[in-house]
Structure 1
Amino acid sequence: MSSDYCCDVSCIDQEKINAVAPHLLSAEATVRLAETFRLLGDPTRVRIIQALSLEELCVCDIAALLGASISAVSHQLRLLRSMQVVRFRKSGKIVYYTLDDAHVRNLLQAGVDHIRECLLPAKERREVRP
């Protein structure tokens, strides 16, 4: 491994460790967060989340929007529901989906903002930062 990416000596700053350690997530919360990010690592699910951040939609609408089968979209929605990313409500024979809460919308927006910034030329990126 290149030494450009590692310390050249082994040293531990106990003050920094003591300051950071109490703020780390528990093992259980860390696993849950990693599962959430893994869930968001699929382009189809990201498109579903983006669509639902704009409008409450039924499975048929989402399938048409994505050019996917109803079965495939239902499967993805089931995964998203299991992690409390989306929720549904039934109206007669139609099931409508929406994002579970504002945190999901904020997470999506933070990712979009990051990508947009990364796509800007380097000069413009420097100008955007505070």
Structure 2
Amino acid sequence: MVAFAQCDYVLYGKAFDIIKVSGDVDLESTDDIRNHLDRVTIYEIKSTSKEKVTADFRGYFFSLSTAELLVAQTLGDRYRFAFVNTRTRTHVDLALREVMARARGIYPTWSIQF
């Protein structure tokens, strides 16, 4: 997160689940991460275990948080959503622009945590 901040990218800790690294990057070194930021992809995983969901997830609702949207807008293709069906083991890997292109409806909501 520090390496991303040093490159003027916003990355909230609760706005992602995993990272994917392509090639060699020393994840213990902020400098190495910063120097190879193009090799790091941030993922938010959205999952379901419903059996009747189609492989392309058409007609299924997933929620995206405001933090996830902000980070996705900031990072562009460096931030991706993995939509996963844990029962059927199907998945779709999309950048935000691809999510929005496939969205058939967008319903803004606010979640409050006490």
TM-score, length-normalised on structure 2?
Answer: 0.26
Greater strand fraction, Structure 1 or Structure 2: 2
TM-score, length-normalised on structure 1?
Answer: 0.24
Q: 1 or 2 for the larger relative contact order (CA 8 Å, sep ≥6)?
A: 2
* Structure number with larger C-alpha Rg: 1
Greater helix fraction, Structure 1 or Structure 2: 1
